[in-house]
Amino acid sequence: MSKFVKTSLFALALAFVAAPLAMAAPEDGVKTLGKALGAGLAVIGAGIGLGFIGKGMTESMARQPEIASTVQTGGLIIAAMLEGAALVAIILAIFAS
């Protein structure tokens, strides 16, 4: 079983466990659960994206070691932009009304 499937199943199981706790106050429980799922999906998406960036950087540096610094700089810039987008998504998910 791939790591992505395991992580997805863990997140789904956690949502089912947390759902009764979040539903304690019916008018706020569903909102809280939606916010938590939105923030969780943003984090999972950012993690997958960072994994792809790291994979691509490692493969390209292994193929052409002489341009490792250029590849590393570009990869770090892209990773920082991805983290910024994920942070904005998490903030929007948490503070959404």
Q: How far is residue 23 from each of residues 28, 41, 76, 97, measured CA to CA in Å? A: 7, 20, 41, 17
38 neighbors 1 (Cβ within 8 angstroms) = no
Question: In the structure encoding, which two tokens stand for residue 68, read together?
Answer: 């490792």
Alpha-carbon torsion (88, 45, 53, 51), positive or negative: positive
Q: Report pLDDT for 19.
A: 61
Q: CA torsion, points 76, 77, 80, 82, in degrees to nearest 10? A: -110
Digit-coded pLDDT (tens) for 17-30: 666 655 555 566 77
7 — pLDDT class (breaks 50, 70, 90):
confident
Domains of the chain in start order, with CATH, are: 3-95 (1.20.20.10)
Digit-coded pLDDT (tens) for 35-94: 888 888 888 888 898 999 999 999 999 999 999 999 999 999 998 999 889 888 888 888
Compute CA 48 distance to the chain's CA centroid, rounded to the nearest angstrom.
6
Instruction: Kindly report the pTM of this predicted structure.
Output: 0.64
